[in-house]
Chains A and B, each alone.
Chain A
Amino acid sequence: MTAAAAKQEPFAAIAEFASAADLYHAAEKVRDKGYRFWDVHSPFPIHGMNKAMGLGKSYLGYIIFCGGFTGFATAVCLEFIPSSFLYPLIVHGKPVSFFTVPAFFPVMFELTVLFSAFTAFFGVFVLNRLPRFHHPLFGYPSFRRVTRDAFFLVIEAVDPRFSEAGTVDFLTEIGGKEATLIYEND
Chain B
Amino acid sequence: MSNPSHVPAPEMFQSKGMTRFLIGLISVGIISLIVVLAIGLFAPAGSPLKHQFIFSWLFAFLYFFTILIGCLFWILLHHATDSGWGIVVRRQMENLAFLVPWMLLFFIPIFLLRTELWQWITDIGKPHLTPDLKDKLAYFNLPLGPVSIPFFWVRAILYFVFFGSAAFYFRSTSIKQDSDGDPRRSIQMRGVSFLGIILFAVCTTLMAFDWMASLDYRWASTMWGVYIFAGSAGASMALIILVVFGLKGAGYLSFVNEEHYHIMGKLLFCFSIFWGYIGFSQYMLIWYGNIPEETEWFVRRNVESWNTLSTAMVVGRFFIPFLYLLFQYTKRNSKFLAAISIWVLIMHVIDTYITIMPFMHPTGVQINPLDVLCLFAIGCPLAFIFLTTLGKVSLFPSKDPRLLESLKLSN
Contacts and interface: CB of A to CB of B under 8 A. Distances in A.
Interface of A: 47-48, 51, 57, 61, 65, 92-93, 102-103, 105-106
B410 A48 contact: yes
Given A51-B410, A102-B283, 18 more contacts: A47-B410, A48-B1, A48-B410, A51-B1, A57-B328, A61-B328, A65-B326, A92-B288, A92-B290, A93-B290, A102-B280, A102-B284, A102-B287, A102-B288, A103-B284, A103-B288, A105-B284, A106-B284
Nearest to A52: B1
A93 B292 CA distance: 14
Interface in B273-327: 280, 283-284, 287-288, 290, 326
A51 B290 CA distance: 55
B303 to A, nearest CB: 15
Nearest to B284: A102
Interface residues of B, number: 10
A47 B409 CA distance: 9
Contacts of B410: 47-48, 51
A119 to B, nearest CB: 15
Contacts of A47: 410
The 7 A-B residue pairs whose C-beta atoms are closest, nearest first, are: A102-B284, A48-B410, A47-B410, A102-B287, A51-B1, A105-B280, A92-B290
A98 B371 CA distance: 34
A65 B287 CA distance: 30
Nearest to B280: A105
A55 B290 CA distance: 54
21 contacts: A47-B410, A48-B1, A48-B410, A51-B1, A51-B410, A57-B328, A61-B328, A65-B326, A92-B288, A92-B290, A93-B290, A102-B280, A102-B283, A102-B284, A102-B287, A102-B288, A103-B284, A103-B288, A105-B280, A105-B284, A106-B284
Nearest to B329: A57
Contacts of A61: 328
Which of A61, A93, A102 is the most central at the interface, judged by chain B CB atoms within 10 Å of its CB?
A102
Nearest to A61: B328
Contacts of A92: 288, 290
B183 to A, nearest CB: 22
A78 B284 CA distance: 20
Nearest to B289: A92
A117 to B, nearest CB: 16
B315 to A, nearest CB: 14
Nearest to A50: B410
Contacts of A57: 328
Interface string B252-292: 00000000000000000000000000001001100110100
A61 B288 CA distance: 35
A157 to B, nearest CB: 31
A46 B10 CA distance: 30
Nearest to B409: A47
A103 B289 CA distance: 11
Nearest to B285: A102
A103 B326 CA distance: 25
A61 B287 CA distance: 35
Contacts of B288: 92, 102-103
Contacts of B1: 48, 51
Contacts of A105: 280, 284
A103 B288 CA distance: 8
Contacts of B328: 57, 61
Contacts of A65: 326
Nearest to B287: A102
A82 B92 CA distance: 53
A57 B328 CA distance: 10
Interface in B58-108: none
Interface string B1-24: 100000000000000000000000
B57 to A, nearest CB: 33
Nearest to B283: A102
Contacts of A106: 284
A57 to B, nearest CB: 7
Nearest to A102: B284
A186 to B, nearest CB: 36
A102 B1 CA distance: 46
A62 B283 CA distance: 32
